[in-house]
A and B are shown apart, each in its own frame.
Chain A
Amino acid sequence: MLQNRSSYPPQQSAIAPSQASSSEKSIPTSLTPSAIRGSITTPRKVTIYDRNLNRRAPELSLASFAFLFSELVQYSQKNVKGIQEMETKLSDYGYHVGQRVLELTVIREIKNAKRETRVLGLLQFINTGIWKSVFGKPADALEKSKDQEDEYMIIDNDPIVNKYISVPKEMSQLNCAAFQAGIVEAVMDGCQFPARVTAHSVPTDLFPLKTVFLVKLDPVVVERERYMR
Chain B
Amino acid sequence: MSFYLAIIGTKDNAVYDLEFGTYRQGGDGTSKFSADMKQLCPFIVHSSLDIVEEMQWNTNVMHLKVIDKFYNYLISAYMTAGNMKFLLLHETRADDVIRQFFVDLYDLYVKTLMSPFYAVDQTITSPVFDQRVKMLAKKYL
Binding site for B on A (CB under 8 A): 47-49, 51, 53, 99-100, 102-104, 106-107, 110, 113-117, 121, 190-192, 224, 228
B117-138: CB near A (< 8 Å → 1, else 0) gives: 0001000001011001000000
- In the complex, how many residue pairs between chain A and chain B have their CB atoms under 8 Å apart? 72
* B107 pairs with A117, CB closer than 8 A: no
| Interface presence of B114 (CB below 8 A) | yes
Report A-chain residues with C-beta under 8 Å of the C-beta of B126: 49
Q: Is the CB of B128 within 8 A of A47?
A: yes
Interface size on B, residues (CB 8 A): 29
Contacting chain A: which of B30-38, B39-47, B74-82, B88-96?
Answer: B74-82
Q: When the two chains form their complex, are residues A115 and B60 in contact, meaning their CB atoms are under 8 A apart?
A: yes
Q: Nearest-CB distance from B112 to chain A (Å)?
A: 7
Q: Is there an interface contact between B81 and A117, defined as CB atoms closer than 8 Å?
A: no
Instruction: State the B residues within 8 Å of A (CB).
Output: 10, 56-62, 79-83, 103, 106-115, 120, 126, 128-129, 132
B62 touches A113 (CB 8 A): yes
Chain A contacts of B62 at CB under 8 A? 113-115
> Which residue of chain B lies nearest to A118 when distances are taken between CB atoms in the complex?
B60
Cβ–Cβ < 8 Å partners of B106 in chain A = 107, 110
Whether A100 contacts B114 in the complex (CB less than 8 A), given A47-B128, A190-B83, A191-B83, comes out as yes
